[in-house]
Structure 1
Amino acid sequence: MISTADSDQARRPLLGDAAPAAVCLRDAVASVGGRPVLRGVDLTVRPGEVVALLGANGSGKSTTVKSVIGSVPLDRGDLELFGTPFSRFRDWRRVGYVPQRTTAASGVPATVREVVSTGRLPLHRLLPFRRKDREAVDRALAAVGMLDRASDGVANLSGGQHQRVLIARALVGEPDLLIMDEPMAGVDVVSQQLLAEILRREVERGCSVLLVLHELGPLEPLIDRAVVLRDGCVAHDGPPPRGVGQHALPGHDHVHPHADDDHHRSTTRGLLT
């Protein structure tokens, strides 16, 4: 039986192998606070591909994406972004990043529009904002359903609204690679469905997406490939494990794989627990 994700991938071909991968991480070893976390992770995200990074708490998912954006340095391994070695990569306007759920302004008084506008800075550094920048901010806010709250202080927003602001900040530069660390954690079903629609539009314009997830939920039809981490190593790289029953419900802590064929069961059983 063809899964929803498989059929969606068949309808939406990737951009091909001619362009370099958006992310190419090889034999990545990294530590946090002196504690080894990644133990030789390989991760590739091709142009136009949606990759879900799955695994139990402490498996290394967030450390992996932080290594990709450079906030956790590699002890060993190689990283390229869009075919450029990380040490020489400067084109950060091509990368949009949504961190784990946090307050949008980290305690600094700011409006929704001001926070989202910071996502345009890599495009023109300290030059004054222009009309096209303001229009881009409006488009990003409209995409996440927050245009009517543009002048409100972020301190007055709910947790789900904070998350929408962070997503808009990542979208405002129209990135070629969108990285999201647990974007569905703690948000309601309506916000999850909105996120799925946002990602669908981004993928349609050719954006590559790397997602850290605990459950696939409404994003499942968009996901081309799942990389499952266990104890800092890649335990599975292939078709997304299917969550069923209670495992597929929002709020369930992990996705547990269930498959129809014996091979899939033997290679993915228990990887996320």
Structure 2
Amino acid sequence: MTDTDISTAPVVRLTGGTAALGGRPVLRGVDLKVGPGEVVALLGANGSGKSTLVRTLVGLVPLTGGSIDLFGTPYAKFKDWSRIGYVPQRTTAAAGVPASVREVVASGRLTRRRMFGLSREDRAAVDEALTAVGMLDRAGDGIANLSGGQQQRVLIARALARRPDLLIMDEPMAGVDLANQEILAETLRRQQEEGRSVLLVLHELGPLEPLIDRAVVLRDGCVCHDGAPPPATGQHALPGHDHVHPHADDHHHRVTPGLLS
């Protein structure tokens, strides 16, 4: 593959992906593609496999079948994890962390070939990320003292501090009030304008709807829709929704050091 081929290749290509949690099949032959600069929403009822799917992409859940290419490179050969910013669900991260806002965001830079000390470029990237989410004035505050919506903005800043080409976000609007939702939507709009690819796990489109290029809807671990975003919001309007709400995906998995340290 030439450099030109790599630059125009899908940022994410999952082919025939299967995965299981606790021996229970969760993904059943999923195909997913995210193009350069594309914003893709991953929708579906609780338990449909949305969070498991994005965790396979960042190494938290191993595939039991199928293949992943990232930026045109087979997963096993992909090394440049700084190109990917991952924002987990808030309940798996910021709560209880005895650190300042700046320290949490700076941790997104420490995986760049060293674990201690920040360069001038690192510090500039941290300030840039904090400014992007409107939290620069709270940089010295303890993250445990912030509201849920503010904590979510800090987690997004941590991912943005990597200056990634691909931003993966798992339920960024969950439990976030309207004011913080609007700030997050504006932050995502700027990422879109800068040409970043974005993959979002969402319960419903909400204020992010104008930013979405394509929606992929999962049902029982399979893709039941891949195309224009559904016109109506809410789970009952999703293609393939069967009005059954099984328990949500298990969220207790080991964190990949390269992405979250």
Fold agreement, TM-score > 0.5: yes
Higher RCO (CA 8 Å, separation ≥ 6 residues) = 2
| Alignment check: 8 A CA contact 1:100 1:182 kept | yes
Check if 1:94 corresponds to 2:83. yes
| Alignment check: 8 A CA contact 2:108 2:162 kept | yes
Check if 1:75 corresponds to 2:64. yes
- Which amino acid is the alignment partner of residue 72 of structure 1? V
For residue 26 of structure 1, what is the aligned residue in structure 2?
A: 15
Check if 1:196 corresponds to 2:163. no
- Which amino acid is the alignment partner of residue 81 of structure 2? W
For residue 37 of structure 1, what is the aligned residue in structure 2?
A: 26
- Which amino acid is the alignment partner of residue 215 of structure 2? A
C-alpha distance in 2 between matches for 1:50 and 1:207: 8
Residues paired across the two proteins, number: 240
Per-residue CA deviations over 1:88-123 (Å, capped at 9, x if unaligned) read 111000000000122644533111000000111233
| Alignment check: 8 A CA contact 1:182 1:212 kept | yes
Q: From 164, 170, 173, give the equivalent of 1:184.
A: 173
CA deviation after TM superposition for structure 1 residue 242, in Å: 1.2
CA deviation after TM superposition for structure 1 residue 125, in Å: 2.0
Q: From 241, 245, 248, give the equivalent of 1:270.
A: 241
For residue 261 of structure 1, what is the aligned residue in structure 2?
A: none
C-alpha distance in 1 between matches for 2:243 and 2:59: 26
- Aligned to 2:154, the other structure's residue is in SS state helix
Unaligned runs of 5+ in 2: 245-261
| Alignment check: 8 A CA contact 1:228 1:271 kept | no
Per-residue CA deviations over 1:208-229 (Å, capped at 9, x if unaligned) read 0000001111111111110000
| Higher gyration radius (CA) | 1
C-alpha distance in 2 between matches for 1:137 and 1:50: 24
C-alpha distance in 1 between matches for 2:146 and 2:132: 17
Check if 1:64 corresponds to 2:60. no
C-alpha distance in 1 between matches for 2:39 and 2:6: 15
C-alpha distance in 1 between matches for 2:108 and 2:208: 24
Q: From 219, 230, 237, give the equivalent of 1:256.
A: 237
Q: From 97, 104, 107, give the equivalent of 1:108.
A: 97
For residue 128 of structure 1, what is the aligned residue in structure 2?
A: 117
For residue 247 of structure 2, what is the aligned residue in structure 1?
A: none
Which deviates more, 66-75 or 133-142?
133-142
Note closer, same or farther for the CA distance 1:117–1:28 as it changes in structure 2 (3 Å cut): same
Check if 1:46 corresponds to 2:35. yes
| Alignment check: 8 A CA contact 1:103 1:162 kept | no
Q: C-alpha root-mean-square deviation of aligned residues, in Å?
A: 1.9
CA deviation after TM superposition for structure 1 residue 270, in Å: 3.3
Q: From 212, 227, 239, give the equivalent of 2:201.
A: 212
Unaligned runs of 5+ in 1: 1-15, 258-267
For residue 161 of structure 1, what is the aligned residue in structure 2?
A: 150
Check if 1:172 corresponds to 2:158. no
C-alpha distance in 2 between matches for 1:92 and 1:269: 34
Note closer, same or farther for the CA distance 1:269–1:90 as it changes in structure 2 (3 Å cut): closer
Q: From 71, 74, 77, give the equivalent of 1:85.
A: 74
